[in-house]
Structure 1
Amino acid sequence: MKLRSYLLLANTISIMFIIILLLVFFRYMLLSKEQFIWLTLATVSAGLVSGLLHFLLVRPLEAAVRRVGEGAGRIASGDLEARVEHTGLKEFKLLAEQFNHMGSSLQKSFAQVKAAEYAQRELIANMAHDLRTPLASVQSYVEAIEDDVIQDEETFKRYLGTIRSETIRLGELIQDLFELSTLNAEKREPGELRLATVTVEDILVELLPRFTKPFEAKLLQLRVKLPHRPLLLTIQPRHLQRVLQNLLENAVRHSPRGGWIIIEAEEMNGHTEKFIRFTVSDEGEGVLEEERERIFERFYRSDRSRSRESGGAGLGLSIAKLLVEQYGGKIGVQQSSPQGSTFWFTVHEAAEGGEDTVNRKKSRRGVT
């Protein structure tokens, strides 16, 4: 039943009830005939006026309800941009406002779902691309060995070395994917993290020897610049090490033969707390300005870095970004002078006297 019909029916029932009461009063001589006639006419007249008013006043209510219904129908048919006009009584304006807010939320959620689906398709496509190349290489070299194509021992060892390096590359890619998914699943606020106090010198002393062979292979030179006093940070050691490792791997990958890589840490004072700003600079081809935001997206690589020789999986920088931001820090890249790139990130400095100051007078132990 429509709202208008419902109200008119209620009005008619009220009038009939009054007339029945008047008949009862007349039947028991409580009213004279003349009084009964005048009261009946007055009741019918009031009923007609009430019905007319109902008819006129219900129309805007029906229009407001119809607009909401039409908007709901458009959203149900897939038009998430459907909105309702804010007109009518205060209650219907509030209803329209809430309806429009619901529509905006649905549109935003649908856009997020589409973006997630696109990211998932892109992730699968990139994974297939990055897994296919080393797998194809391993397969071709293994088939060559199985078919006794290799006759001399030197070529045989070279093939085995290539197979080994490609399997390592596959393992690193799988480990990066696992770590990236773990970081996304366990993303926490800085206050929820289990913090530890570490010294920058200890991290570098443990990390830098891993890069001896890559540096020797490209004849690279390393320079480390640290403040005179030991730097204490509130971060899990393995996380700081992973960030520096990823940035160093990126610097080595894009550095020219015989180039310099510079690691620097400097103290910076904020409004309420201190933090340390790390930079890793190289003398490579640099990063275009329009790519400096996207370069931290997973699997993103510029065209110049997609070659087999210099292209990584495109996960290292996104992992570094997740780790840094998880501790409330920031990360970015800027152009070096006169060439190359400088990747930087910030980490909060530990409070003075925290965790027995981790041997404040500890020597630099080989960091030069």
Structure 2
Amino acid sequence: MFKVKTPNQFALIFSIISTLIVILVLKIVLSFLDIELSIKYLSLIGLFLLVASYGLVYFLLEIFINRKIRLLYRMIHEFQTSKADYEIDMNEDVLSASETDVIDWANKSREELVKLKEQEEFRREFIGNLAHELKTPIFSIQGYILTLLEGGLEDKSINEKFLKRALKGVDRMNLIVGDLDMIAKFESQRTEMVFKPSDIVQISRDVMDSLELKANEKSIKLKFANDYDDQIMVSCDSGKIGQVLQNLISNAIQYSNQDGEIIIRFLSTDESIMIEVEDNGIGINEEHFPRLFERFYRVDKSRSRHEGGTGLGLAIAKHIVDAHGHTISIRSTIGRGSTFFFTLSKV
């Protein structure tokens, strides 16, 4: 059975049928009126009707079909850009508008494909990093348990030593899982934030006190840039911001050299307070800046794992600062140190 597949075919068939019908009706009417037209005139009339009806039908079909396509593409485009309501101007040129919408939709689709590819690449890298981070403590625990099973249980000194080492491996896995759970809650917006006026100087002082022993192991001094005797009040979740400072200062200790120095500084602007954590350590190459706050991203993988940490501290810090409606960033010079800084709203 013959199928009409294009507007051109439909217009041609419709024009032929309509022309034949009109010619037949015309001959019947003329025969009743005793008027006789020659074959030449009937052919000319038929040709004119054929061309006119074909052109009219084809034009109307093009308008109808292209308008539907334009509406479809615009619906797709608006859906992808998450616009709830939009207006379509029915007086605009149909063909040019359709072409513009199709190009916009194609560009949007291309961008979506690039994003999907980047997300897939990030997912693979994340799974690989997670597997590597968990593999180290798991293998350690496995080794300690095998040693105990092969006779170590009978020796009390070996027994206690290896069980303590296995416990450290378990603690490390707990840290990784806990940090991942925290990031997941931030990303799904399930973390409850309690904003209230807080003294950022006191928050910083408490964190510095808690990290003093860790800093002393490398003879690193933790100090303020100035004598901040007065309170500096900001609007924040004090516990979460304390964790940001904990992560930043711990990171600074990790990457600082022996006998180094870490300075906490507060800078005031019209509406906010900038908090800086500065170290005089090894510094970070600028090429790493765009990825520093990604999960498990490490500038020096071997050094980072040797020093400890989950590789999630900066990612958590960024999520917390983002949840406060502010940003966190870095400036660094190789051989001279790094400064992480973020802002909080004044009270």
Length-normalised TM-score, structure 2 = 0.77
1:132-183 CA-to-partner distances (Å, cap 9, x unmatched) read: 1111112222333343448987665544443333222211111111111111
Could you say which residue in structure 1 is the equivalent of 2:338? 341
CA distance in 1, matches of 2:22, 2:181: 79
Could you say which residue in structure 1 is the equivalent of 2:18? 14
Structure 1 residues 285 and 5, CA, compared in 2 at 3 Å: closer, same or farther? closer
Could you say which residue in structure 1 is the equivalent of 2:265? 264
Give the secondary-structure state (helix, strand or coil) at the position aligned to 1:292: helix
Q: Does 1:277 align with 2:288?
A: no
* Alpha-carbon contact 2:273-2:344 (below 8 Å) kept: yes
One-letter amino acid of the structure 1 residue matched with residue 314 of structure 2: L
Could you say which residue in structure 2 is the equivalent of 1:321? 318
Could you say which residue in structure 2 is the equivalent of 1:170? 173
Structure 1 residues 338 and 131, CA, compared in 2 at 3 Å: closer, same or farther? closer
CA distance in 1, matches of 2:29, 2:152: 119
One-letter amino acid of the structure 2 residue matched with residue 335 of structure 1: S
Of stretches 217-226 and 302-311 in structure 1, the one that deviates more from structure 2 is: 302-311
Q: Does 1:236 align with 2:237?
A: yes
Per the TM alignment, residue 55 of structure 1 is displaced from its structure 2 partner at its CA by 6.7
- 1:1-368 pair list within 5 angstroms: 1=4, 2-28=6-32, 31-33=33-35, 36-37=36-37, 42=41, 44-52=43-51, 90-149=93-152, 157-186=160-189, 195-225=195-225, 227-269=228-270, 274-303=271-300, 306-310=303-307, 312-335=309-332, 339-350=336-347
* Alpha-carbon contact 1:275-1:348 (below 8 Å) kept: yes
Give the secondary-structure state (helix, strand or coil) at the position aligned to 1:293: helix
Could you say which residue in structure 2 is the equivalent of 1:82? none
Per the TM alignment, residue 129 of structure 1 is displaced from its structure 2 partner at its CA by 0.4
CA distance in 2, matches of 1:337, 1:132: 31
Gaps of 5+ in 2: 70-91
Structure 1 residues 328 and 100, CA, compared in 2 at 3 Å: closer, same or farther? same
Give the secondary-structure state (helix, strand or coil) at the position aligned to 2:245: helix
Report the aligned-residue RMSD. 3.4
CA distance in 2, matches of 1:9, 1:210: 87
Could you say which residue in structure 2 is the equivalent of 1:81? none
CA distance in 2, matches of 1:194, 1:339: 37
Per the TM alignment, residue 341 of structure 1 is displaced from its structure 2 partner at its CA by 1.5
One-letter amino acid of the structure 1 residue matched with residue 109 of structure 2: L
Percent same amino acid at aligned positions? 27
Gaps of 5+ in 1: 70-88, 351-368
Per the TM alignment, residue 218 of structure 1 is displaced from its structure 2 partner at its CA by 2.5
* Alpha-carbon contact 1:221-1:258 (below 8 Å) kept: yes
Per the TM alignment, residue 292 of structure 1 is displaced from its structure 2 partner at its CA by 2.1
* Alpha-carbon contact 1:246-1:317 (below 8 Å) kept: yes
Length-normalised TM-score, structure 1 = 0.73
* Alpha-carbon contact 1:282-1:342 (below 8 Å) kept: yes
* Alpha-carbon contact 2:153-2:159 (below 8 Å) kept: yes
Structure 1 residues 203 and 143, CA, compared in 2 at 3 Å: closer, same or farther? same
* Alpha-carbon contact 1:4-1:54 (below 8 Å) kept: no
Structure 1 residues 214 and 160, CA, compared in 2 at 3 Å: closer, same or farther? farther
One-letter amino acid of the structure 1 residue matched with residue 187 of structure 2: N
CA distance in 2, matches of 1:21, 1:160: 104
* Alpha-carbon contact 2:208-2:222 (below 8 Å) kept: no
Give the secondary-structure state (helix, strand or coil) at the position aligned to 2:306: coil
Per the TM alignment, residue 96 of structure 1 is displaced from its structure 2 partner at its CA by 2.6
Give the secondary-structure state (helix, strand or coil) at the position aligned to 1:312: coil
One-letter amino acid of the structure 2 residue matched with residue 321 of structure 1: K
* Alpha-carbon contact 2:262-2:280 (below 8 Å) kept: yes
* Alpha-carbon contact 1:187-1:326 (below 8 Å) kept: no
